[in-house]
Amino acid sequence: MPVTPRVCARRGFLFGGCGLAAGIAALEAATGRPTIWATAQYLAHARPPAVLDVAVTVAATGRQVTQARATGRVGGTEILTVNSALGSRPVEASGEWALRPQVPGPEDCPPRVRPDEPPEVDADSLMARVEQRVALGRGPGELDGSAGDGRSALWARMPELLEVSAAGLAVLGDHVGFGMRLAMGTSGGGRSLDNTLRVVRLVPAEWVLLDIRVHAVAGGFGHGLIHLWAEHGPLLATASQSAILRL
């Protein structure tokens, strides 16, 4: 995968969710099975111009589930490792117990404002590729250092994606840092140590609701979870993360 601004965070290195997405895409292509869960551990930065080479190792293959891992390298440097389980089972039993937050629809929510970023965003950047609207949470002018309740929500969509996929949800699921900023009441955020995606079901959705829940911050690290909901449908996936706190 070419490492270009299209897949990079604001600070100029590979966005963690894009790295997990690359691993998921490679794993699904190699095994021919859909992702059940995948977790990425980030070991080093990759900055453009570079190429992330992803190698897949299939550790175990059963009748319904494959266990596999992907390793991403730039040159001789290991950038990330993705462990995963892939497969499906013909079982009819189902249920959903997570509670969806009651928030306005995306058409009634304001665009996300990033005061520390340039007013003109490169049309080929990751920021330009992901449209976000704030459904729940304080604005930048309200971050006065007081703690929030740990809950926030964003509507997000990537217009270039024609259908919901595990790889696309991996990109959208890397936003616990936004919730950490609001929970702490500061303009900082977090840098990913890991990302885990657990796929419930994939259904068509133009917008995805990122229901962000920051659990705790301690010792310079933050921990949180995102429920990813289809705009007019069910829970698509959950995404959890630990991050280095940046104030």
Centre a 10 Å sphere on the Cβ of residue 71 and count the other Cβ atoms it contains: 17
C-alpha 43: how far from chain center: 17
> Which residues, at least 6 apart from 41, have a Cβ–Cβ distance to it below 8 Å?
80, 81, 82, 193, 194
Q: Has residue 118 got a pLDDT over 60?
A: no
Domains of the chain, by residue range, sit at 1-88, 104-247
Centre a 10 Å sphere on the Cβ of residue 55 and count the other Cβ atoms it contains: 11
Pick from 12-16, 82-86, 238-242: least confident: 12-16
Q: What percent of the chain has pLDDT over 70?
A: 96
Equal CATH topology for 1-88 and 104-247: no
Q: Which pLDDT score is estimated for 120?
A: 53
Mean pLDDT estimate for the chain: 94
Q: Which residue shows structure tokens 């995606």?
A: 197
On whether the 1-88 domain is CATH 3.40.1280.10, my answer is: no
Residue 98 in tokens: 């997570």
Centre a 10 Å sphere on the Cβ of residue 158 and count the other Cβ atoms it contains: 16
Pick from 52-56, 61-65, 187-191, 221-225: least confident: 187-191
Q: Which pLDDT score is estimated for 115?
A: 65
Note the pLDDT tens digit of each residue in 145-177. 999 999 999 999 998 887 999 999 999 999 999
| CATH code linked to domain 104-247 | 2.40.160.210
What is the pLDDT averaged over residues 185-195? 89
Cβ atoms of residues 156 and 130 within 8 Å: yes
Q: What whole-number distance in Å separates Cα of residue 95 and Cα of residue 121?
A: 42
117, HSE (Cβ side, Cα atoms, 13 Å): 16
What is the pLDDT averaged over residues 179-203? 93
> Which residues, at least 6 apart from 216, have a Cβ–Cβ distance to it below 8 Å?
222, 223
pTM of the complete model beyond 0.75: yes
